[in-house]
């Protein structure tokens, strides 16, 4: 049953409808450098396997409102202050463009939920997706309110109106991902859309980056034409946004240009697809779900072969930054201790990636990367076969850390396979685990920067 009670979300915000906001004047942009301001114009373009026409969505706020938010956030660091800048979305008056006035014209949370209910009644939205949309709204609302950020009601309304609109539009005309998907930055900037949505869930005061100088080293190698691969643990659907948010001030090129090896679930789940559309993806089927439907196993294997060919071509071009989770899925807490730790790496996955890098014909470097952000968007306790998992979100600190590159020959020496690849995989996993433990001490152990150790130096680059 679709529950539509919204409690205090029905409180009316004293502002005009979303559709009446205008684009920021140039002078306004210069006075609000702390805030993620962006404008999306109308264009028509072919993206993936369908033609995408998008309404005008302008990230804008009144100049006076911006000044008030800056004043309200004097005591917070710049990234926390940035969280106060809600995205005000506007829609084109062109009715031929795919968008939903019901969502974009909403003035309250109750309006949003009523629009979901109406779409179900009109048979424009399946009940299970509608229930997921409502659940996401309620959970996001609670998380942003928990953050204590000023103008929380406006932030919630602006962001969720846009999210629900993008989900609704995709249900009507599903976007199809190609094996190699480039982030859609226009006519609608899905990358910034995802960044600004997740930004509100990150407590930057208790978030940390490990070894920021190594990210600088990686950036230099990419500029030289080398390839870089990040062997990482995987915690949540929000991982790409978390990584980018923690690096965007010091290393925006890294934040925006990572290519993520992504499982099929993030490109098929209606509530996840709009966020995935804003990332560079190499789409594969996870080994964990390869045989969920035996009749589809051969198709999945062929699709993975196509994606591997795409990856090989990308690497041959050089200057590529690829993120991969050799565990094949997200970390899960220990069923007994309830403690979180990086899931074990699959030695065949690390070895296949290493061979692709070595055979690319250009120099390549593999770095171990750790991420800790499960509190913000934890996965289900168990691996699920069905698409449409429950989304729980919260406001919390997060962390990302990278260690110096690990060379296969230095680690494995003269060992023969399969021992060599096992030793190399262990070296990568041990480094990720060590970094993860440092992040855990800083965030959950509340040690902050003092959790640093000689091999993992923590910082807050946004300070």
Task: Catalogue the active-site residues.
Answer: 173
State whether the Cα torsion 27-29-33-34 is positive or negative: positive
**Among candidates 283, 386, 286, 385, which has minimal Cα distance to 326?**
286
18 closest CA partner among 81, 76, 89, 69: 89
Q: How many whole angstroms separate alpha carbon 58 and alpha carbon 275? A: 18
Find the largest Cα–Cα distance for the chain: 70
State the Cα–Cα distance between residues 118 and 368, nearest whole angstrom.
Answer: 48
β-strands 180-181, 227-232 pairing: unpaired
Among candidate residues 426, 402, 430, 429, the one with its CA nearest the CA of residue 415: 426
* Residue 138: C-alpha distances to residues 133, 160, 397 (Å): 9, 10, 21
What are the CA-CA distances from residue 402 to residues 229, 308, 367, 370, 433 (Å)?
Answer: 11, 25, 7, 6, 11
The structure tokens listed for 100 are 């939903």
CA distance 91 to 352: 46
Residues 201 and 144: beta-carbon distance below 8 Å? yes
Contact 215, 253 (CB under 8 A): no
Backbone angles phi, psi at 369, to 5 degrees: -125, 140
């Amino acid at each position: 049953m679709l529950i539509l009670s919204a409690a205090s979300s029905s409180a009316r915000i004293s502002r005009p409808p979303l559709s009446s906001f205008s684009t920021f004047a140039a002078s306004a942009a210069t006075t609000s450098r702390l805030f993620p301001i962006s404008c999306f114009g109308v264009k028509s373009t072919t993206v993936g396997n369908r033609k995408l026409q998008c309404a005008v969505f302008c990230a804008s706020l009144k100049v006076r409102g911006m000044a008030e938010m800056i004043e309200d956030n004097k005591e917070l660091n710049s990234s926390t202050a940035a969280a106060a800048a809600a995205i005000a979305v506007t829609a084109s008056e062109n009715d031929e463009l795919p968008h939903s006035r019901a969502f974009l014209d909403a003035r309250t949370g109750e309006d949003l939920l009523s629009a979901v209910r109406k779409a179900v009644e009109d048979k424009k939205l399946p009940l299970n997706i509608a229930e997921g949309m409502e659940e996401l709204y309620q959970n996001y609302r609670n998380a942003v309110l928990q953050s204590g950020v000023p103008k929380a009601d406006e932030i919630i309304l602006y962001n969720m109106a846009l999210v629900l609109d993008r989900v609704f539009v995709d249900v009507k005309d599903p976007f199809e991902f190609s094996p190699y998907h480039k982030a859609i930055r226009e006519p609608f900037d899905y990358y910034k859309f995802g960044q600004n949505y997740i930004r509100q869930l990150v407590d930057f005061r208790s978030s940390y980056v490990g070894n920021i100088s190594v990210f600088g080293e990686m950036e230099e190698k990419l500029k030289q034409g080398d390839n870089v691969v990040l062997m990482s643990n995987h915690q949540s659907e929000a991982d790409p946004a978390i990584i980018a948010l923690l690096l965007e001030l010091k290393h925006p090129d890294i934040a925006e240009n990572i290519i993520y090896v992504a499982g099929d679930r993030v490109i098929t789940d209606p509530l996840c697809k709009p966020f995935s559309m804003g990332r560079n993806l190499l789409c594969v089927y996870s080994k964990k779900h390869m045989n969920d439907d035996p009749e589809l196993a051969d198709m999945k294997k062929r699709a993975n072969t196509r994606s591997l060919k795409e990856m090989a071509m990308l690497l041959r071009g050089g200057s590529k930054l690829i993120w991969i989770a050799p565990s094949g899925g997200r970390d899960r807490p220990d069923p007994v201790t309830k403690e979180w730790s990086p899931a074990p790496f699959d030695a065949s996955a690390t070895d296949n990636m290493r061979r692709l890098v070595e055979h690319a014909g250009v120099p390549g470097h593999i770095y171990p990367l750790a991420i800790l952000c499960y509190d913000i968007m934890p996965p289900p306790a168990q691996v699920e076969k069905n698409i449409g998992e429950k989304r729980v979100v919260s406001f919390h600190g997060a962390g990302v850390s990278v260690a110096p590159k690990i060379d296969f020959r230095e680690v494995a020496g003269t060992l023969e396979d399969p021992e060599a690849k096992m030793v190399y995989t262990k070296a990568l996993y041990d480094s990720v685990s060590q970094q993860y433990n440092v992040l855990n001490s800083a965030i959950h152990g509340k040690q902050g920067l003092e959790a640093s150790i000689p091999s993992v130096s923590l910082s807050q680059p946004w300070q």
